[in-house]
Structure 1
Amino acid sequence: MCAPYDAQAMPIKHPDISQETHVLGDDTVQTVVRAEQCDALAARHIAHVAVVDAAAPYTIVRTNLSGAFLQVCLAGEGQTLLDGRWYAHKPGTVSFAPAHVLHAFHAVPGKRWRMAWVRFRSDSMRSVDGAMAPTLSPFDGRVLEHAILGLSGEMQGAADPGTCAVWVDVIERYLSRILEPLQREPRLLPVWNAVKADLARDWSLADLAGLANTSEEHLRRLCQKNLGRSPGKQLATLRIAHAAHLLATTSEKIEAIAHSVGYVNPFAFSNTFKRLTGFRPSDYRKK
């Protein structure tokens, strides 16, 4: 994951993340294609795609993201909240926010921010609980931008279903290239599959390294390179992502949910949940 925002080097005022916010501003221009308009997007379980040229006060806060969200910075700079921390979102980087997490982003005053995004529907495999952790990683999104604009142009013209399907296939190919970090490092795949199958277990670093058939130090390096976080932080992220899913979709008691994802101490669970989502579990459930 890229370096987090440095409050001392760049004092930027971030929005209130305690409530849903959707502010475009007069200087923001959006090109959006939605699944309601395009059968090819609906078939891929994509809610909508967009290219946005934004300027302050452009601000989006989603307190319970129902479907996963991918966003590529094309030019300029914005700020994106992931894992409970603000990051500078600059050209050549892509962010991914799983479903059922706190997610926010905003333009920086005095700077334009051009981006492309893809919002997945809640029934997409990319939105499945635990499919992927929040991440900010390198990716040149210019071809994805062109594919989205090509689809938009076709929708505004002949809207030929076959041509639209071709554009959506191109979009899907680039999404697959971005969203398969675990498959690029096969040693990590059995590790996190085993963890997701038994989140309540008291996993040690030695346990995880054994699943990867590598040393503990090498596992740290693999996780940092491929996931942008340590094994311990990845474990916490998967646990809290599943807990958020349960809070949003079931009526289970919070203490029972904490135990089911490996937290014996409800207070420790609540603190970790707030650090990663911005909310206490009880407040998250209310929202």
Structure 2
Amino acid sequence: MAGTLKEPSGQDVHVLGAKTHYQAIRGSHVDERDWLADQAYCPILAQHHIAHVGVMRAESPFEVTRHNQSGTFMLSCFAGSGLVLVDGSWHRIQAGEACLLPPFVMNSLRCEESTPWHFSWVRYLESREVNPVVSAHSPLSGKFAPAPMQRAIQGLHAETQSTNSPAMMQLWVDLLQSYVSRFAQPYQSDSRLYKVWSAVEQNPGKAWTLVELAAISSVSEEHLRRLCRKELGRSPIQQVTFLRMQKASQLLASGDDKIEVIAREVGYQNPFTFSTAFKKWVGWRPSEHRSLSGKK
């Protein structure tokens, strides 16, 4: 945890600062936002629903906040450190670590004073009708070797500036997608964790305890804590809350049940307590989430 910091305001923020430098590649030629307008273009990125990728060397006052991020964002740090806001809390990401910021919630990035932050990123463009890169089994953060992804982005950028060969660009893009996918699904082969979260997904309204979760995984409570911290960047109980918020988000976006009914379905008997928790994790209240999803 990064300590006590101010919360983002109600508006999106995009502050790069004079000391921040980056190299990006767009997946669409119609993306004409100021900071992307003069960057390289590779249409093959769109095959994987990638909006843009890049390498950034950021310094304070760098800060970016998106209140309704429209796609998964993966960040891999190769030098220094910075802060990300996700799951309602600030987390420090440093060299040799990566994080996954999910779509359709509030996410924020920020440099700390006098601390440079060098990272590469892959940003997706996703819809609520398809499964995003981030799943119930994806980590918030974790160890990650940053050099291969960084070099793949730099290789793709070099190709767009030279021969612009579709075959070569396809290889670089497929490689990037593989790096993201491998980080996003770290424990598919670990049946212990798979069994635990499958059970929670099937019954999110149950008052799960660490003892029960450990029993399902057939490991000790402390071992389960270590596994979750290593693979997901969350404690077991935080992961239960994450799965509940995911389920609630789906129900709010796709159904017409009252908020108090949805609250009970995901384990909250008090709608106010549910609303407070939802705002902390997602960035706005359940009624606002339903409105943004097009439901009335």
Distance in 2 (alpha carbons) for counterparts of 1:15 and 1:207: 35
1:139 matches 2:131: no
How far residue 278 of structure 1 moved from its aligned partner, in angstroms, is 4.1
1:101-250 maps to which residues of 2 (within 5 A)? 101-123=105-127, 125-127=131-133, 130=136, 132=138, 135-183=140-188, 185-248=190-253
Partner of 1:34: 26
Structure possessing the higher relative contact order (Cα contacts under 8 Å, 6 or more residues apart):
1
TM-score by length of 1: 0.85
Question: Which one of 255, 268, 274 corresponds to residue 279 of structure 2?
Answer: 274
1:42-53 maps to which residues of 2 (within 5 A)? 42-53=46-57
Question: Which one of 59, 63, 85 corresponds to residue 63 of structure 2?
Answer: 59
How far residue 128 of structure 1 moved from its aligned partner, in angstroms, is 5.8
How far residue 229 of structure 1 moved from its aligned partner, in angstroms, is 2.5
Q: What are the ranges of 5 or more consecutive residues in structure 2 without an aligned counterpart? A: 29-40
Distance in 1 (alpha carbons) for counterparts of 2:112 and 2:229: 28
1:25 matches 2:17: yes
- SS in structure 2 at match of 1:77: strand
1:6 matches 2:12: no
- SS in structure 1 at match of 2:191: coil
- The count of corresponding residues between Structure 1 and Structure 2 is 278
Q: Check 1:90–1:270 CA distance in 2 against 1; reply closer, same or farther (3 A cut).
A: same
Identity of aligned residues (%): 38
Partner of 1:95: 99
AA aligned to 2:2 is Y
Contact 2:105-2:283 at 8 Å conserved across structures: no
Q: What are the ranges of 5 or more consecutive residues in structure 1 without an aligned counterpart? A: 8-12
- SS in structure 2 at match of 1:188: helix
Distance in 1 (alpha carbons) for counterparts of 2:154 and 2:251: 37
How far residue 99 of structure 1 moved from its aligned partner, in angstroms, is 1.8
Q: Check 1:272–1:171 CA distance in 2 against 1; reply closer, same or farther (3 A cut).
A: same
TM-score by length of 2: 0.82
Contact 1:185-1:226 at 8 Å conserved across structures: no
How far residue 126 of structure 1 moved from its aligned partner, in angstroms, is 3.9
How far residue 125 of structure 1 moved from its aligned partner, in angstroms, is 4.3
Q: Check 1:179–1:242 CA distance in 2 against 1; reply closer, same or farther (3 A cut).
A: same
CA deviation vs aligned residue, 1:71-120 (integer Å, no higher than 9, x gap)? 01122222211221212222111111122222101122333321111112
Contact 1:17-1:104 at 8 Å conserved across structures: no
Q: Check 1:188–1:199 CA distance in 2 against 1; reply closer, same or farther (3 A cut).
A: same
Contact 1:125-1:131 at 8 Å conserved across structures: no
How far residue 148 of structure 1 moved from its aligned partner, in angstroms, is 0.4
How far residue 252 of structure 1 moved from its aligned partner, in angstroms, is 4.5
Distance in 1 (alpha carbons) for counterparts of 2:147 and 2:135: 29
CA deviation vs aligned residue, 1:176-231 (integer Å, no higher than 9, x gap)? 33222222532111221232233234434444334323444443333233223222
AA aligned to 1:28 is T
